Structures are given as C-alpha cells and as structure tokens.
C-alpha cells in the first residue's frame, strides 16, 4: 500500500492519505522516524507498526499535557490514559518513558503534596496519609516525608481549629461542643491524644448563660404549637439534645416557673 498525500494539521500532526482511501493522523515525529516522506510504499505489517508507534506517541503527548497542569502520580496518569482508551502496553510504555525523563517523580510529588496540605489546608497527618495511600504510595514512602513535619505544627493547627469552633458556637453545651470538636478533629486526621491535650488548654463559655439563652429561644419557637407541661417537655428534650445536663435544665425550668 502507498501513501498518496500529506496534509498538515495543527499541533505537529499530518493527515496521511493512503491508496486504499484510508487516512491516518500521524505526528511529525512518526513521519520522520519511519521516513514516510521518501518511502511511500509499505506492507500491512509495516503500517500497523507505524500506527502502534503513533498511538504510543499520542499517549505520551496526552500524558505530558495532563502533567502540565499539576504534578501527578503514576496511578493518576495510568487512570487518565485508561479513561482515554489506551491499551495496557501503551500505558506501561508511556509511564516508563515519563519516569525515565523525570516527568514522574514520586519523591517530588510527595513533598509537594504534603507542603500544599500543610500550607493551604487544615488537614491532619492521618487524613493526608490516607489520601496519599489512595494515590498509590506505600506507607514507608509517605512516612519518610510526613515525619519531617514537626509535632508543633500539628498542635498549632489543632489549637486554631478548636478556637474557631468555640468562637462560632452559640447554642451547644460545653460538653457537647467538646465532643463535636473531638470528633471533627479525628475525622480531619489528628491524633486523639493531641486533641485531648489541647482541649484542656481552652476555656469554654459558661453553660448556664447558653442554657438560659437557648431556653427562651426554644420557648419562643415552640409556644405557638404547644402549651403547659407538653411545651416544657418539648423544651427539655430539645435542650437535652444540645448537650445540657438534665438536672440543670429542670433546675432552670423550676426557677422560671
């Protein structure tokens, strides 16, 4: 089979017309590698080789563009190429080439990722570790970088979150607020012992002040629906769910009565 015509497209791609009326879009690198400008006649096997080589080049360029936006892991690049329907052998070949050319560097990615999480988020070490594990890194690789972050940094972040939660609290008892803060920080990846140690250093708003405020707020909300003892029971239940002690609630109701 013979090449009849070349037509230049954008991005260093040519449309190649063959004598069987088929067309191929080939990169100029493929054209040069197989000397297509001077050699115009090929066997079916040779054309298949040209197509395969061009597909590998297409996968490589696509991966490079994907990497140009931000650092990626091998797992992310492989997934991206699979989504674009490249076969496994082409993906493996592309990954190997990218690694050899230093476009994929696990150590650099890990360091950059951890730096971003520390500087731009309030995530704790356990959450960062879980996210990196999902990206395909081993625990040994992760800990080698994560342990370079001092404990003081994590403690300062815990304190910052606790203070923010206290400042934004207007209706919870100190007991329930502490529990919610603890659960939130655990979810965000901080160690329980560090959380408890920091919580002890903070002063929480007097429960009695919040309880009184919440009583009248709840009373005004429910008084149009209920009355008498039923109203008081509804208020008592609502306040109990907000973490206030039942004895303190009943004592306040007695005083108000």
Burial class (CB in 10 A: 0-12, 13-18, 19+), 122: middle
* Of the candidates 239, 241, 195, the residue with the CA atom closest to the CA atom of residue 215: 239
- Within this chain, domains 3-100 and 106-148 share the same CATH topology: yes
Above 90 in pLDDT, residue 192? yes
As a whole number, mean pLDDT of residues 153-170 equals 90
> What is d(CA 53, CA 33) in angstroms, rounded to the nearest whole number?
9
Residue-wise burial string across 86-99, b where 16 or more C-beta atoms lie within 10 A, e elsewhere? beeebbebbbebbe
> Distance between CA 24 and CA 22 in Å, rounded?
7
The pTM for the full model equals 0.65
Over range 150-171, report the average pLDDT: 90
Provide the CATH number for the domain formed by 3-100 in this structure.
1.10.10.10
Give the residues across from 15 on adjacent strands: 7, 25
Rounded Cα gap, residues 164 and 56, in angstroms: 52
**pLDDT tens per residue, range 43-100:** 889 888 999 999 999 999 999 999 998 889 999 999 999 999 999 999 999 999 999 9
Structural domain boundaries in the chain: 3-100, 106-148, 150-204, 206-257
- Which pLDDT does position 160 carry in this prediction? 94
pLDDT for 94: 96
Q: Minimum mean pLDDT among 82-91, 184-193, 219-228: which range?
A: 219-228
Of the spans 116-120, 234-238, 243-247, which averages the highest pLDDT?
Answer: 116-120
Q: Would you say residue 207 has pLDDT above 80?
A: no
State the average pLDDT over residues 113-132. 94
pLDDT band at 19 (very low <50, low <70, confident <90, very high): confident
For residues 158 and 199, give the distance between their C-alpha atoms in angstroms, rounded to a whole number: 9
* CATH number, domain 106-148: 1.10.10.10
Helix (H) or strand (E) holding 54, with range, is helix 44-69
Q: Are 12 and 6 in contact (CB under 8 A)?
A: no
φ, ψ (nearest 5 deg) of residue 49: -65, -40
């Amino acid at each position: 089979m013979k090449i009849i015509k070349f037509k230049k497209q954008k991005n260093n791609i040519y449309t190649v017309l063959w004598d069987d009326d088929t067309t191929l879009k080939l990169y100029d690198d493929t054209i040069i590698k197989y000397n297509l400008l001077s050699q115009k006649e090929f066997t079916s096997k040779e054309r298949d080789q040209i197509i395969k080589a061009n597909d590998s080049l297409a996968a490589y360029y696509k991966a490079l563009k994907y990497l140009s936006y931000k650092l990626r892991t091998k797992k992310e690049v492989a997934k991206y190429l699979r989504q674009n329907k490249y076969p496994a052998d082409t993906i493996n070949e592309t990954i190997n080439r990218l690694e050899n050319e230093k476009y994929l560097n696990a150590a650099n990615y890990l360091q950059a990722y951890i730096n971003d999480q520390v500087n731009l988020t309030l995530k704790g070490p356990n959450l960062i570790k879980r996210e990196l594990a999902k990206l395909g890194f081993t625990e040994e690789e992760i800990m080698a970088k994560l342990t370079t972050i001092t404990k003081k940094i994590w403690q300062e972040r815990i304190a910052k979150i606790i203070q923010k939660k206290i400042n934004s609290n207007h209706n919870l008892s100190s007991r329930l607020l502490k529990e919610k803060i603890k659960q939130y920080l655990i979810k965000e990846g901080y160690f329980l012992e560090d959380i408890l140690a920091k919580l002890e250093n903070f002063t929480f708003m007097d429960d009695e002040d919040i309880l009184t405020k919440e009583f009248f707020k709840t009373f005004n909300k429910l008084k149009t629906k209920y009355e008498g003892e039923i109203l008081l029971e509804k208020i008592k239940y609502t306040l109990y769910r907000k973490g206030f002690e039942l004895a303190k609630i009943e004592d306040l109701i007695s005083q108000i009565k």
